[in-house]
């Protein structure tokens, strides 16, 4: 997997922004164990928020075991990720990133997922929650076969 994260991180960033950047970097690198290590033991990932084909009851993936299963069901099936963050708003122990996640899938398909990705961290800097606001239908409408 190639790593392409576009984001001006500056020098002094709030902890939630640093954690979000570390999360994107680990995903782009295909580093499951490194990614899971960023999460608190009781963390929750809602990606996307609400019921979806990744989470039929819409309650999120809980704890490192549940988050690891989410990786296996979703992230592991992507050949390459590119994250483009166009804006980032930090406040308190959270950050809301506005951007596009581009996924390159087997068979030469590409999907662009526009959304708002909210990370909350604890005092220890570990991720307590990720809430990804994006719409399946909008993302799937961008699916196309590409040659690179």
**What are the pLDDT digits (tens) for 32-83?**
999 999 999 999 999 999 999 999 999 999 999 999 999 999 999 999 999 9
User: What distance in Å separates the CA atoms of residue 9 and residue 11, rounded to the nearest whole number?
Assistant: 7
Q: What is the pTM of this model?
A: 0.91
Residue 33's pLDDT is: 98
Helix (H) / strand (E) containing 71: helix 63-73
Residue pointed to by tokens 């499951």: 32
Task: Give phi and psi for 125, each to the nearest 5.
Answer: 85, -5
Q: What is the mean pLDDT of residues 5-27?
A: 82
Task: Give phi and psi for 121, each to the nearest 5.
Answer: -120, 160
What are the residues whose beta carbons fall under 8 Å from the beta carbon of 17, sequence distance 6 or more?
A: 9, 88, 90, 95, 97, 119
């Amino acid at each position: 997997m190639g790593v392409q994260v576009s984001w001006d991180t500056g020098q002094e960033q709030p902890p939630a922004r640093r954690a979000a950047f570390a999360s994107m970097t680990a995903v782009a690198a295909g580093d499951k164990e490194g990614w899971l290590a960023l999460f608190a033991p009781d963390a929750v990932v809602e990606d996307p928020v609400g019921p979806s084909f990744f989470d039929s009851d819409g309650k999120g993936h809980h704890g490192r075991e549940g988050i690891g299963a989410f990786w296996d069901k979703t992230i592991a099936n992507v050949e390459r990720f590119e994250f483009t963050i166009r804006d980032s708003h930090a406040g308190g122990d959270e950050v809301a990133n506005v951007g596009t996640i581009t996924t390159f899938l087997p068979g030469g398909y590409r999907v662009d997922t526009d959304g708002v990705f909210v990370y909350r961290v604890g005092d220890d800097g570990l991720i307590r929650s990720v809430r990804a606001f994006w719409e399946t239908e909008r993302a799937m409408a961008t699916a196309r076969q590409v040659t690179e």
